[in-house]
Amino acid sequence: MMHSLLRDLREKLGEHVAPVATESSAEACFQIAPADIPGAVDHLRDRYQARVVTVFAEDCTVAEGVFYNYYVFEQPGDPGFLILRAAIPAGEPRFPSLAAQLPAVNWQEREIQDWFGLEATGHPNPRRVALHDNWPDVHPLRKDFALGQEMPPFAGEQHIYRPTLGEGVFQIPVGPVHAGIIEPGHFNFAVAGEPILYLQLRMFYTHKGTEKLFESMPIPRAVFLAESISGDSAFSHGTAFCQAIERAAHIELPARAEVMRVVLLELERLYNHIADIGAIATDVGFAIANAHAGRVREMVLGLNEVLTGSRLLRGMVCIGGVREDWSGAQLARLGGTIDQVEREFRDLTALVKTSDSTRDRLEKTGTLTPEKAEALGVVGVGGRASGVDRDVRRDHPYAAYARFPFCVPVYREGDVWHRMQVRMDEVRESFDIVRRAASALPGGPHCAAQQPIPADRCALSAVEGWRGEIVHWVRTGRGNRLERCKVKDPSLNNWPALVEAVEGNIIADFPVINKSFNLSYSGTDR
């Protein structure tokens, strides 16, 4: 596959295409010239139906005098990833933008502009995204920028929103501090009466310099930082990070650890999906369903605590496996609670699905068409409700998922009702996966022996968090540290989909549409 792909790329782009060594057989990497980027992406899409998973950059100017841009692709039916790398000379800090043809990379290219100072030439909307307009002219992910650099008081421009013009048309600014107990972000609605004409988003209020911070920490400590990328996905992000390190350092996971990770990844999906179903119900006034969902969710959180010492599954995953093994009593509690939660969940779904008024509010609300979902590269629950048949667990199996086949629910309607339906289906699949995994738990150790991580190794890792595709990419450094850790949360793909989905809906339905995607601000902003 690797050789035929290289031959093909050389035919298309020229003999300068060169293979780059990778640590994992699941990754093929080729170096191309920056000018080749648009042609290569077109070719891979037309010929292989390849989709761009993520785009990111790295500063290697000290050692090699270049920045690298990485373009990660996946192809239907191929469990591996293809990575194209373009070397961008420090003296010519620009690369051709793909955003006009490929809206899915719009924000990610702008992140590269903000964080590395590389210009995405031809970008349709090259304004800042990750650093707000009032920030000074800095590029924090460059190696010559210090993590603790004292920033001058912010005095630059305020963000200018697209004007809202016309008779009876007005603007509703919301946030960053929202009315509910949720994360901060700014929504600027243009409305004509009740219907929303368009929504403009301003994110990155919770930007914490996480990717820069990764470069300052010993790897074992960085696992805890990965758990704090998005608190509701602590175990998924932690696993994605550990997997990347394990692949980079060729650490073989004990079979028991792989299965334990599957159980915990599914428990994370369970508690979040159950909470979301309740939250969607409450946003259309069905508070009782939310009360039951809150109660059932507590059962799962109690189980999490029994299995990991933390209700949110923190402090469990580690490089090489998991930190603590499970006793027979803990496993018995797992089985008993899953049975109980399943019974309660059946009642909960019956309540929601037999409520005509709920159905009336949710059907055809916040519709995202399959065409738009595909163009925007929407992932996870939001994608599967709009015809995007992707699931990392099935498409790029990790941990022990290959041993526990399951159904991936896909609908084409793309409304709030179907985003809820995807969650309901996935919850039922999760019960099944957890049961099968728990009964097939192999013996042996729960963690590989700890060893120092060799320097200058790169690896990619993808995990299907409950929200969708999480990607981590690492380059290890000397002294058990990291040179770079790229984090892509599924929310980053899906925020632009929210903008599309709310158009034409009444503003009173915005909360429920937003909740039906339930995106992470912290995961996006990092």
Q: Who's near 194: CB < 8 A, 6+ residues apart?
A: 506, 507, 508
- How far apart are CB 114 and another protein at their closest, in Å? 12
- Residue 59, interface with another protein (CB under 8 A)? no
Task: Tell me, rounded to whole angstroms, the distance of Cα 461 from its chain centroid.
Answer: 12
Nearest to 524 by CA among 201, 189, 57: 201
Q: Figure out which of the listed residues 81, 204, 417, 495 binds another protein, where binding follows CB under 8 A.
A: 204
Return the CA Rg of the chain: 23
Task: Please give the residues from 139 up to 158 whose contact with another protein meets the rule CB under 8 A.
Answer: 140, 145-149, 151, 154
Which residue type occupies 324?
Answer: E
Which residue is listed with tokens 């409520």? Answer: 355
Q: Which two tokens stand for residue 393?
A: 């667990």
176 binds another protein (CB under 8 A): yes
Stretch that binds another protein, among 5-13, 228-236, 423-431, 465-473 (CB under 8 A): 228-236
> Which parts of 458-487 interact with another protein (CB under 8 A)?
none
Using rule CB under 8 A, residue 64 touches another protein: no
Site for another protein in 303-322 (CB under 8 A): 305-312, 314-315
Nearest to 468 by CA among 377, 345, 400: 377
CB count in 10 Å sphere of residue 193:
10
Span from 179-187, 365-373, 406-414, 502-510 in contact with another protein (CB under 8 A): 179-187
Nearer to another protein, 6 or 217 (CB): 217
Task: Give the span between the Cα atoms of 348 and 178, in whole angstroms.
Answer: 28
Which one among 2, 87, 172, 213 touches another protein, defined by CB under 8 A? 213
Is residue 209 within the footprint of another protein (CB under 8 A)?
Answer: yes
Which string of x and - marks every residue 249-288 that binds another protein (by CB under 8 A)? --------------------------x------------x
Q: Choose, by CB under 8 A, the member of 301, 408, 448, 507 that binds another protein.
A: 301
Q: Does 331 bind another protein (CB under 8 A)?
A: no
**Tokens, residue 11:** 């035919």
Q: Which residues are within 8 A (CB) of 410 and not within 5 positions of it... i.e. 6 or more apart? A: 384, 387, 388, 389, 422
482-488 sheet: strands from edge to edge: 458-464, 469-476, 482-488
Least distance from another protein to the Cβ atom of residue 228, Å: 4
Q: Does 21 engage in binding with another protein (CB under 8 A)?
A: no
Q: How far is the CB of 135 from another protein (least distance, A)?
A: 8
Rounded Cα gap, residues 464 and 73, in angstroms: 16
Least Å from the CB of residue 176 to another protein: 5
User: Between the CA of residue 419 and those of 274, 411, 415, 516, 518, what are the distances in Å?
Assistant: 13, 9, 6, 6, 10
Q: Rank residues 61 and 337 by Cβ distance to another protein and give the closer one.
A: 337
105 binds another protein (CB under 8 A): no
Minimum distance from residue 60 beta carbon to another protein (Å): 21
Label each residue of 258-326 as H, E or C.
HHHHHHHHHHHHHHHHHHHHHHHHHHCCCHHHHHHHHHHHHHHHHHHHHHHCCCCCCCCEECCEECCCC
Closest approach of Cβ 239 to another protein, in Å?
16
Question: Is residue 70 within 8 Å of 133, Cβ to Cβ?
Answer: no
Is 323 a residue that touches another protein (CB under 8 A)?
Answer: yes
Residues that bind another protein (CB under 8 A): 132, 138, 140, 145-149, 151, 154, 176-177, 179-184, 204-210, 212-213, 220-221, 223-225, 228-232, 234, 275, 288, 291-292, 294-295, 297-298, 301-302, 305-312, 314-315, 323, 330, 347, 350-351, 354, 520-522
